[in-house]
Amino acid sequence: MNKCLIVINRPVLIMYFYGLWKNQYIPLKENVDFFVNQSCLNYLESFRTLFDLPTGKVYAFEEPTFTSPYYSYYKKCMNLVNNFFQYYGLIKRIKDIPLADYKYLLTFSDDMLHLQFLIFDFKKRRKAEGLVFLADNGVDLYLDYQQGPKSLIRRIIKKVIFPKYAFIPAGCNRLVDIILARIPEKCNCSNLRQVRKIDYRIGEEDFGKWCEVFGVDWNALMSLKAISNNTILFLGTPFEELGISHDEIIEFLYAVKELEKSDIIIKPHPKEDFSSYKGHFDLLPSDLPVEILLGGIRFKFVLSYCSSALIESSLYGQQTYYFNPPSSSQNFLSEAIIQALNIHLYNLIEGSEVPNFDVNNEH
């Protein structure tokens, strides 16, 4: 039977799936089932009620949490213990899915270990008949993975424990058949058979429905729209996981506010501890999909550090800037993507009036 299994591990990916489904980028319009994170279940139910979508089976899983290198050793050990039981339950859950009944598997990220198991089992059961689609959902397809895993533990796991499918970065998994990319000429997938260009931006006619799905106050967004011409949208990042102090970020944002003579509103990252922002800047709900903001409201400009939403911002036509905290030199976006999407480096001398595009700067 021609059936398709959609893997979704974050609520916002429901929007991405709808864009693919509506614009017929996925192979089937009917016979679509879902394998979703527990946190997505309520959103998925609301989505299927509000939108004209065929009903199908839903398999739920609990996604393991991951340990930041900046956590304490105690927290690292506790996370490792929890992950062991979560992975065991998740792999058992994968075994319960009748993967042999599906001709297509579509996932938005294949660089998580549990999704490697899922893809591996799907290919094993379907052999040459099953096709794996990997859809662009941020920066993963555009990062430089040529050096391979840098962590010693990940190198050991990749080489010794799970050599077939462990920690293969998005775009480098040879079990993936077709990549669906918004910027196909820049993605890291030279070893794959097919790359197809997609565009799953949501249309304004659907904004009201999406606000209802995610519990967003539409009237509040419209009031923000009235002042957005002189408002800067800052997109947060889980800075504490990167070893970057929020005090450093707040000091930088005050300098931006003074230079631009503009208000700043922050949309925190869902994994970010945003309590430090309170009392300094206005905050939007952390679980608000940034796509609703970027597609429905025009800001003076959008600013972020390493958020994948920089790509979304540019694709939605927003003036987009990234910045480099002095305490970090990590490279998240390739120069090719920065140039292709016209994303500029923000500095506190020229501000946003004269875009400073420094291709030699580490970011």
**3 state SS of 296:** helix
pLDDT (0 to 100) of residue 48? 87
Kindly state whether residue 41 falls inside one of the protein's structural domains: yes
pLDDT digits (tens, 9 = 90+) for 241-284: 777 888 999 999 999 999 999 999 999 988 888 889 999 999 98
pLDDT (0 to 100) of residue 263? 93
pLDDT digits (tens, 9 = 90+) for 63-119: 665 544 444 555 556 555 555 666 667 777 788 889 988 999 998 865 566 677 788
- Percentage of the chain beyond pLDDT 70 is 73
Kindly state whether residue 212 falls inside one of the protein's structural domains: no
Instruction: Please tell me whether residues 158 and 305 are part of one structural domain.
Output: no
Instruction: Please tell me whether residues 193 and 268 are part of one structural domain.
Output: no
Q: CATH number, domain at 107?
A: 3.40.50
Mean pLDDT of all residues in 142-146 = 56
Nearest partner of 240 among 75, 38, 25, judged by Cα = 75
Return d(Cα 173, Cα 185) in angstroms, integer: 18
pLDDT digits (tens, 9 = 90+) for 36-70: 888 889 999 989 888 877 678 999 887 665 544 44
pLDDT digits (tens, 9 = 90+) for 280-326: 999 988 888 888 888 888 999 999 987 778 888 988 889 999 888 76
Nearest partner of 16 among 297, 220, 301, 295, judged by Cα = 295
* Overall number of domains in the chain: 2
Q: CATH number, domain at 316?
A: 3.40.50.2000
Highest mean pLDDT among 33-37, 149-153, 170-174, 243-247: 33-37
Instruction: Please tell me whether residues 268 and 331 are part of one structural domain.
Output: yes
Kindly state whether residue 264 falls inside one of the protein's structural domains: yes
Instruction: Please tell me whether residues 247 and 127 are part of one structural domain.
Output: no
Tell which wins on pLDDT, 120 or 40.
40
Instruction: Please tell me whether residues 239 and 300 are part of one structural domain.
Output: yes
Kindly state whether residue 67 falls inside one of the protein's structural domains: yes
Instruction: Please tell me whether residues 162 and 250 are part of one structural domain.
Output: no
Instruction: Please tell me whether residues 159 and 253 are part of one structural domain.
Output: no
**Beta strands 263-267 and 231-235: pairing type?**
parallel
Helices (H) then strands (E): counts for the chain = 11, 13
Mean pLDDT of the chain: 77
Instruction: Please tell me whether residues 180 and 106 are part of one structural domain.
Output: yes
Q: How confident is the model at residue 228 (pLDDT cuts 50, 70, 90)?
A: confident
Residues in the chain: 363
**Beta strands 178-181 and 301-304: pairing type?**
unpaired
pLDDT (0 to 100) of residue 349? 76
Kindly state whether residue 38 falls inside one of the protein's structural domains: yes
- pTM greater than the 0.85 cutoff: no
The domain containing residue 167 runs over which residues? 4-197
Instruction: Please tell me whether residues 259 and 161 are part of one structural domain.
Output: no
Instruction: Please tell me whether residues 106 and 44 are part of one structural domain.
Output: yes
Instruction: Please tell me whether residues 192 and 228 are part of one structural domain.
Output: no
Nearest partner of 296 among 357, 234, 209, 169, judged by Cα = 209
Residue 322's beta-bridge partner residues?
304, 345
State yes or no: pLDDT of 164 exceeds 70: no
